[in-house]
């Protein structure tokens, strides 16, 4: 059972999900493509109906791919950067369509040469400044139910920093989703101590971001889910990512995979 630590600890579903299942836009007969042969390879299936949560990061810069993601018609959690030109619009649109949204909180990376987002929270800040910055960024994206880390390979290793952040998240009953940008993240144990729900990534879908590599990673997520009963994958607001998900998610759903929101897991 220890192997199931990825996910909201044991990956059990919450009994009453807040969000409705998305409904894709109806197509006319002329728009419906002929049935294609399944693109899904045969694999060993330990679980009949495994659960997969897809989290898509970096929304807020533009609206280029938003409708494409929403029109897939399966649950996808949208992770939205604070204080970007379209952060509020993305959150409002997703909320109106029944989708879950979370804040993609900029945290300090180890690589000092990486361009940081405005408002990146750093371990060198005073406790009061950390709290003030966090509150400002939480307020900048409406309708959120949780927080994930943007970058943060250094920040998620800093127990004092994350304890302050988790203490604030606890006040609003927000969960934390760890993008796991550091193998040395201390967030799982720190979240447990703070009393907040926690999950962490299994698979990055689009690093690298060429179409063939993304499809391979989606199929890897599928294999993992059928082996463990659940899997959590992270992608980004990119054309190649949504194209690959449009291609494979409906077929995976048809074969028995249940796509869920990240909040539908609990420790």
CA 124/CA 132 separation, integer angstroms: 14
Q: For residue 2, is pLDDT > 50?
A: no
Q: What angle (nearest 5°) sits at the alpha carbon of residue 93, between those of residues 31 and 221? A: 70
CA 257/CA 226 separation, integer angstroms: 8
Cβ proximity of 43 and 223 under 8 Å: yes
What residues contact 15, with CB distance under 8 A and at least 6 apart?
none
Kindly list the domain boundaries of the chain, sorted by start residue: 43-266
Q: For residue 12, is pLDDT > 70?
A: no
pLDDT category at 153 given cuts 50, 70, 90 is very high
Strands 101-107 and 77-80 turn out to be parallel
Q: For residue 132, is pLDDT > 80?
A: yes
Task: Identify the CATH assignment for 43-266 out of 3.30.110.30, 3.20.20.370, 3.40.50.11810, 3.30.390.50.
Answer: 3.20.20.370
Q: Which two tokens stand for residue 38?
A: 């399944």
Q: For residue 11, is pLDDT > 60?
A: no
Number of C-beta neighbours around residue 244 at 10 A:
24
Query: How confident is the model at residue 36, as a pLDDT?
Result: 58
Q: Which two tokens stand for residue 265?
A: 């897991």
- Kindly report the pTM of this predicted structure: 0.88
What residues contact 46, with CB distance under 8 A and at least 6 apart?
226, 227, 228, 229
Q: For residue 227, is pLDDT > 50?
A: yes
Q: For residue 28, is pLDDT > 70?
A: no
Q: Residue 23: exposed, middle, or buried by beta-carbon count in 10 A (0-12, 13-18, 19+)?
A: exposed
Q: For residue 206, is pLDDT > 50?
A: yes
């Amino acid at each position: 059972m220890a192997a199931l630590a990825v996910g909201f600890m044991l990956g059990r579903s919450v009994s009453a999900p807040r969000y409705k299942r998305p409904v894709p836009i109806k197509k006319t007969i002329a728009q419906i493509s002929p049935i294609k042969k399944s693109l899904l390879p045969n694999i060993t299936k330990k679980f009949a109906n495994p659960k997969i949560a897809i989290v898509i990061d970096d929304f807020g810069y533009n609206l280029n791919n938003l409708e494409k993601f929403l029109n897939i018609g399966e649950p996808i959690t949208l992770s939205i950067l604070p204080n970007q030109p379209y952060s509020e619009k993305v959150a409002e649109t997703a909320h109106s369509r029944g989708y879950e949204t979370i804040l993609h909180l900029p945290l300090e990376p180890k690589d000092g040469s990486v361009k940081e987002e405005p408002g990146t929270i750093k371990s060198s800040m005073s406790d009061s400044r950390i709290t003030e910055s966090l509150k400002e960024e939480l307020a900048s994206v409406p309708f959120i139910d949780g927080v994930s880390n943007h970058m943060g390979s250094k920040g998620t290793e800093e127990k004092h920093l994350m304890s302050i952040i988790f203490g604030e998240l606890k006040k609003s009953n927000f969960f934390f989703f760890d993008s796991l940008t550091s193998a040395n993240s201390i967030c799982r144990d720190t979240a447990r101590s703070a009393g907040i729900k926690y999950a962490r990534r299994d698979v990055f879908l689009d690093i690298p971001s060429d179409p063939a590599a993304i499809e391979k990673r989606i199929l890897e997520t599928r294999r993992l889910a059928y082996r463990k009963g659940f899997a959590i994958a992270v992608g980004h607001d990119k054309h190649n990512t949504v194209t690959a998900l449009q291609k494979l998610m409906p077929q995976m759903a048809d074969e028995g995979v249940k796509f869920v929101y990240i909040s539908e897991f609990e420790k």
